Amino acid sequence: QVQLVESGGGWVQPGGSLRLSCAASGRTFSAYTMGWFRQAPGKEREFVAAVRSGGGIHYSDSVKGRFDIYRDSAKNTVYLQMDRLKPEDTAVYYCAADNSRLIVSRLWNGENYPYWGQGTQVTVSS
């Protein structure tokens, strides 16, 4: 069983930055695939970014070049650095994990991640 605890959400003006954190339990964090998803009101959950064990980072086209996902295995934590935020980035952001190295084609589907955090709200508005 993997437990995920997120932090770092909040309100920010357009163009601003936020960093989300997701702390994971478990002794083999370095082997996990870690992902971030988001869900805006009235919309379906969508993939944001993922980092696989042993390397391999992937982003959705909507955040590529603005968001950065990285992990600190010493702290069992994955981060999502979000820069140049836009109002359309407003959503509840969820951390997700699978305790294996997912193949690339499975990264984008949330159903392939059995473990989820509680979500953290990100609001981008002026």
User: In this predicted model, what pLDDT tens digit does every residue of 78-101 receive, in sequence order?
Assistant: 999 999 999 999 999 999 999 888
**Which tens digits make up the pLDDT trace of 24-76?**
997 788 889 999 999 999 999 999 999 998 779 999 999 999 999 999 989 99
CA distance 32 to 76: 10
Residue type, 21: S
Q: Please report the pLDDT score of residue 27 as a whole number.
A: 78
Of how many residues is the chain composed? 126
26 CB neighbour count, 10 Å cutoff: 16
Q: Are 51 and 43 in contact (CB under 8 A)?
A: no
Which of 115, 82, 111 lies closest to 96, judged by CA? 115
